[in-house]
Amino acid sequence: MASKKQTAAEISQNLAMQLDWQVAERDDEEVARLLYAGEKADEIHTLDEAGLVDGFFAFLIESKVMNVWKAYEISGLQRVFLPTIMFLLLYGMRILFGINASNALPSLLFSNIPVMIVIGFNARLLTNGKSKRGEKARKEDSKFALMDPQTLAKTVCKSSLQELEKLFNNTIRALAKYGIFMGEMMVAVDGTRIITTAQFSGCGCQEISEWKRNRQGLRVEVIEFVYGWRLIALLDLTTLMPIAIKIVQIQAHEAPYLVELVRQAQANLAPYSRIKTLVVDRAYVDGQSLYQLDQMGIFFVLIAKKNMAIHFTALCKSVESLLYYERIETVFRGQGRDQVAETFLTQLQVATDLRTWDSYRPPKVAGKQLRIADRPALNAVVVHIWNNQQLDNPRVFLTNLPVNDPWLIFNLYDDRSWIENGLFRNSKQFWHLVGWFPQKTHAGVHTHLTFVMLITAVATAFRLWDKAHSSAVTSLQPPQPNYAFRTVQPPPKNSHPAPNPEPDSSHDTSRLVAEWAEPEPEPFPATTHLAASLLPDNAQLAYSHHFLLGIGPSRWRQELTRKNRDKIIVFFGNTYAIFELPVFLVLTGVPFQLPPAYGAVDDILAHYGIRRE
């Protein structure tokens, strides 16, 4: 007889009955009604970290990311005493809270009752633990209730590389479907070294040479060997969220993985978003890979190496240019009468129709020559002065975009710094990307790096979602820099414009002023939020990291602590509510002087659908 197919509700019920797992649900009105009726609450705690988990879980459920996490499997597990998602959530909370040692988990996470109940553990399990096995052999200072912290580390490290990739990619797909990303995206790709010791099994080894001066003052070459891995990430420059990652050994070159990363990111985003523009640095100077991206319809900007023929060609062609493009940025420092204005000059030239990059071409065909005139052409923006600094070796930005507006190309590459400052630095300083791993193995490093990037992406999406739903749209606009633009004729040979020039008042400083020989085509159509049309609310905001006002993860946690210090969380079974302390006192009937900001007692009761008898 064929067995009946289980429903999702039946599976959840089985988990709750057999494995003591059921995510707590928030219902403020129900809990308020029970408190007002005089019912005895099961648990009451100050909010603390539970305030973060409450909003975070609400976002996971609304965005359907929780459904992806529930489907997470660890094939290496032989026996399951907790559902797999519990290990995912526990390790994710470790990263989210910034707990930097596995042995600190019992005191900092496992004993945090409100957080653990919100995650899905019940009070009996937290008090007595799942098993008494080995209890007699433990010393008093190593007692724990929920589980041995090493059990969590060993369990998550049993995930295969394919399972970790599936978890990360499916999470990004859920966020794309929810509408977090712009329809047309600008991304950057870069890598960072994850340095470990030689004792990590499966690590790579990279030889680094440096020239230093010895005690005698002579320059000597010092060779050093570093061990570890390299994390390559593709970052959305609008939300500052990683949308594709690749982990390789530390000595591996990054360029061969560029096309693979872009294709994986496109698969994660489709059909709701797509990559339109890519920005990379010198590590990705690979003509064949960039030509493939061009054929995929992706625009790119990168900086050329000084030993490339196309770099020399761009410098020569820029000399023939009739125009210099200047931008003067005014920065105000200080306040009041002490405020001073400082100006910074940046000067560019353009070069077009560059065909001297031998590897940037279609695949070679035996017996056929590709003439230079038939090679695909690139354009360049040549930077001579950058923020008042005269460059002895001008920087050349190569692109397959038109250079009618050279500042567009310049700004695109300037935004590439977000991947180092906005992703890798925050990940290392707050999310502990390096420094502690669950195990000193290949699996331990892959698991930890994947989980950090996963929590970074989801936590950033949650912060953007929370900010967009709690602030006025006008307050979420990015700050506008104070720029003035002008176009000038080339200066005489062997001379350069003086630094700190005054803006030309005869030109309109609100937009680029240029004397083009022909009308300017629009190189970039207006970006659209394609995913918004597939969502119930077509007026949904296009999420941007400007919403966060430059506040990093550490300050974000501090602000949450400040906002939640006068709140409590109340549990009735697996249902909970969060109240401010005066509201809780009103619901429980404690007589006190209600602050005027809360209105009347009847107003508070009416908010929760309660009528006073």
Q: Above pLDDT 90, what percent of the chain?
A: 37
Instruction: Compute the chain's Rg from CA coordinates.
Output: 29
Q: Is residue 471 part of a domain?
A: yes
465 occurs within a structural domain:
yes
Residue 82 placed within a domain: no
SS3 label, residue 579? strand
| Domain assignment present for 460 | yes
Confidence of residue 307 (pLDDT cuts 50, 70, 90): very high
Residue 8 lies inside a defined structural domain of this protein: no
- How far apart, in whole angstroms, are the C-alpha atoms of residue 70 and residue 78? 19
Q: How far apart are CA 611 and CA 594, in angstroms?
A: 18
DSSP string, 273-321: -EEEEEEE-GGG--HHHHHHHHHTT-EEEEEPPTTSHHHHHHHHHHHT-
**CATH code assigned at 302:** 3.90.350.10
In a domain, 271, yes or no: yes
The answer, yes or no, to whether residue 130 has pLDDT greater than 70, is no
Domain with 331 in it: 161-476
Closest of 195, 265, 248, 200 to residue 226, by C-alpha: 195
Whole-angstrom distance, CA of residue 453 vs CA of residue 451: 5
Least confident interval from 17-31, 359-373, 381-395 = 17-31
CA distances from 570 to 25, 272, 573 (A): 12, 39, 10
Instruction: Give the model's pLDDT for residue 488.
Output: 79
- Which of helix, strand or coil describes residue 251? coil
How far are the Cα atoms of 345, 349, 386, 464, 512 from residue 397, in angstroms, in the given order? 18, 11, 13, 32, 19
Quote the number of domains for the chain: 1
E strand segments, 39-153: 43-46
User: Counting every residue, how long is the chain?
Assistant: 613
| 464 found inside a domain | yes
Please report whether residue 124 resides in a domain: no
Mean residue pLDDT of the chain comes to 80
Please tell me the pTM assigned to this model.
0.78
Segment 532-590, tens digit of pLDDT? 333 334 344 567 776 676 677 767 667 766 776 778 888 887 788 888 888 888 888 88
- Please spell the DSSP secondary structure of 5-51, one letter per residue: PPPHHHHHHHHHHHH-----EE-HHHHHHHHHTTPPPSEEEE-THHH
